Amino acid sequence: MNMDSDLQIAGDILEVPHLLQPERAHPVTVAEFAGLARSIADDRSQWAPYVEYDATTRWYHRLRTGPGYEVWLLSWVPGQGSGLHDHGVSSGVLTVLEGELTERTDRGVRTLGGGAQRVFAPGYVHEVVNDSLEPAVSLHVYFPGLTEMPMHESVQAQCAPTAHGVVLA
């Protein structure tokens, strides 16, 4: 190996502050938001005390806010779902903390087990459902903070049966 052609750092890199990125107080990139979700997921003490289950509706609790973002904790009993929706102008990170959730999109169905993470852009249309027989818990980071959640008609709801088969409504 020819050491003359390898990049080497001479001296103390900390003495070159203009090459170092300052530590941010809050996330600003997609990777940093995914990292925030992962760090909260890895520390049960930050979310487990707040989990509740409600048999009549999905339960949710806002865990944290920061400049331009929100972190939500959701619980899902078997059979509960979000309905087909998007998040308006917000991007997001969905992280499954416990259990298993099913995500449905126009591209297909995906099972998300504990630890799975999904990052989505504004306008991304999906439905999240607990199709399992056990409760599930998920963490959602939205940036900017969630201000709208437009609902969409599912493909099944757009189809109406007739005597001759199925027609689009």
Long-range contacts of 78-81, Cβ-Cβ distance < 8 Å, separation of 24 or more: 78/130, 78/131, 78/132, 78/133, 78/134, 78/135, 79/129, 79/130, 79/131, 80/129, 80/130, 81/127, 81/128, 81/129, 81/130
Check: CB of residue 27 under 8 Å from CB of residue 36: yes
pLDDT given for residue 13 in this prediction: 63
The mean predicted confidence, pLDDT, of the chain is 85
Identify the pLDDT of residue 150: 84
Cβ neighbours, 10 Å, residue 36: 21
**pLDDT confidence tier of residue 164, bands split at 50, 70 and 90:** very low
Residues linked to residue 136 through DSSP beta bridges, in sequence order: 76
